[in-house]
Structure 1
Amino acid sequence: MAWVYLCIAILLEVAGTISMKSSEGFTRLLPSILLIIFYIGSLSFLTLALKMIDVSVAYAIWSGMGILVITFIGVFYFNESFNVLKIVSIILIIIGVTTLNFAGSHEKADSQKVVESEEK
């Protein structure tokens, strides 16, 4: 369930960022209100996810996936530029998030082995 919470947190964070862009510096009321609602929701679901997922992994995935999705929305919806540097940066984010996820899994497996050996 923690991973579902994290996915919802990511989607709400992306919606909040889109609202931030649409608010035009808090000059438009509805997007400004939605920005606050979406970010409160995102942080609430991230908090729920942190009950079961390590903060280093959850935050890396939350921020990394948010960056990835917002980059594509920026390029395809807001007509922002897309160049080689952005592509390389996105690839590095994906590699970093994946590595953190594997590191967290490996660390838990190692600590479980230590606990099991201490019980014997």
Structure 2
Amino acid sequence: MPWFYLFIAGLLEIVWAYSMKQSEGFTRTIPTIITLIAMLGSFWLLALAMRTIPLGTAYVIWTGIGAVGAFILGIILLSEPVNAARILAALLIISGLILMKVSSA
């Protein structure tokens, strides 16, 4: 169950990163509320996962899911630039996440 908590916490990190962008510096009410709720949920689930998953492993995987997810969301929804270097960087992050998970088992 801790790995499930960690995965959902990472997904919520993507939600709060996107909604923070949409809040335009916390000047828009609904995106600001979504940001705060998603942050609280993400941190809470991360804390639950850290009961059994080592700190370094949990934190790296949590931030990695958020980083790659925000990268993909930025490309799809915000028309952010995509090029070979950025894709390679995301693939390296993903490979690091996989290695972190495998090495902590």
Task: Place the TM-score, normalised by the shorter chain, in its bin.
Answer: over 0.9
In the superposition, the TM-score normalised over structure 1's length comes to: 0.82
Q: CA deviation at 1:20?
A: 0.4
Q: CA deviation at 1:102?
A: 2.6
In the superposition, the TM-score normalised over structure 2's length comes to: 0.93
Write out per-residue CA displacement over residues 11-53 of structure 1, whole angstroms, 9 at most, x where no aligned residue: 2111111110100111101111211111011000000001111
Instruction: Tell me the number of residue pairs that the alignment of Structure 1 and Structure 2 aligns.
Output: 105
- Specify the SS of the correspondent of 2:94: helix
Partner of 1:38 in structure 2? 38
Partner of 2:81 in structure 1? 81
Equivalents in 2 of 1:32, 1:70: separation in Å? 17
Partner of 2:100 in structure 1? 100
Identity of aligned residues (%): 39
Q: What letter is aligned with 2:20?
A: M
Q: What letter is aligned with 2:73?
A: I
Q: Which runs of 5+ in 1 are unaligned?
A: 106-120
Q: What letter is aligned with 1:63?
A: T
Bigger relative contact order, structure 1 or 2, given CA contacts below 8 A and separation 6+? Answer: 2
Greater Cα radius of gyration, structure 1 or 2? 1
